Structure 1
Amino acid sequence: MNAGIRSIVLFFIGLLVPAVVVFSWLKGAEHELKNAKESAAKVAIASNSEDSYCTPALKQILRRVAGACGLIGAGGGRGCKPADAKNVAALSGDDFNALFIPMLENKRAGIIQFDPEVGELDVPGQDLVKQVWADQRGASFFFVVSRASPDGSKELNQQLSQQRAESVLTHLERTFNDPDLKNEVGLLWLGEEYAQFPDAACQWKRSRTEECTSKEINRSAFVTWIDCTI
């Protein structure tokens, strides 16, 4: 091979090598970008996935309660009184409670207990509210379902139940100073008239460790984040 031909060959080799390098780099970048997109998609799917307790029955109740009791729309956080709650739920008390048992069993929810004829949170109650609130896991809806025991008049117990729900909301507002909080929290006060807890509810996560019967467990507010898409 003479010098002229050798120079031409070397010239083309010099052009070819960078082209191959650039092509390889572009293919590698394309592969990495594809993997990144797939990973992002998987994360998004995981973030939007629902917990197993999101049954069709629960989601139907959530839509009704959220719309009627202030969780969705401009009236965020206004709450529902006992008669409204029963009509909105359109379920027996036992069936209504059964929808929320999985949240208690997996430690997602808590039961905040109150003294007789008292609507204000005590320190253990405040601590459990904060603990449950902190366990958001990307959920958008925080439910507060308050009750009263059958002691005393129905009217007094309606009032106490409302005070207990609102005291949870007030504590959250003072603690977290979140302007969107009222659009995340739904209040449902049941008084003594609907969906009373049985004695067995005392075994679930609650704010007190003292002796517990159905009277004590119904002087309470059930609190939980809910991951269901409604």
Structure 2
Amino acid sequence: MSAPSSGSSSGEAIDPTAWTVGVLGGTGNQGKGLALRWAAAGIKVIVGSRAVERAENSAREYCEAAGVDHVRGTDNATCASEADIVLAAIPWESHADTLKGLVEPLKGKILIDCVNPIGFDKKGPYPLPVEEGSVAQQAEALLPETRVTAAFHNVSAVLLADLEQPEVDCDVLVLGDDREATDVVRALADAVPGMRGVYGGRLRNAYQVECLTANLIAINRRYKVHAGIKITDLDG
């Protein structure tokens, strides 16, 4: 199936429920939270994992939690092949190796990279250097025929996974060089109640957004909260 069009050029409304979203690393915390919220919003979700049984078990768990029947689990390659849009929610340590094996199934598709290059020591979280400039730029280098975007880095996985919280009150910065692709990703953010997708610039500006998560983790630890970000003076 071809990558979706946002409909922005024709003036049509964007309907994310028409798409199937694959979540690579969908058994991890961030992948789980986003898969749950999208499923609850009526979006079909494929959970990807290196272990098929783990993905299938997670998919059943998410269906039960969200009260839906449109989440299924499979391996990462099948997830990437059968989804219309793919989210990379995989550990930074395995980011490059995972994407190298998905060049063919991701051709022409929108990839949303939400991976944060964060390390931890006795002083707390800190950003790790990325040779390509950012994690998203590494994805772009590995996947030259994929429409790479960057988003969902600064959203609390705890809040996402807690469906008793009706809204996730935060903005999501969406970065990329393909205007139509960033519009699609913004629509996926808008599909979650309380969340707003905001265009945040070209993909070359992704590193500071990725690394801002280290600051948010420090805030969360200090104040015992689940902090996010909000952009002021912006209507809509």
Provide the TM-score with structure 2 as the length reference.
Answer: 0.28
Structure with greater strand percent: 2
Using CA pairs below 8 Å that are at least 6 residues apart, which structure has the higher relative contact order? Answer: 1
Structure with greater helix percent: 1
Indicate the structure (1 or 2) with the bigger Cα radius of gyration.
1
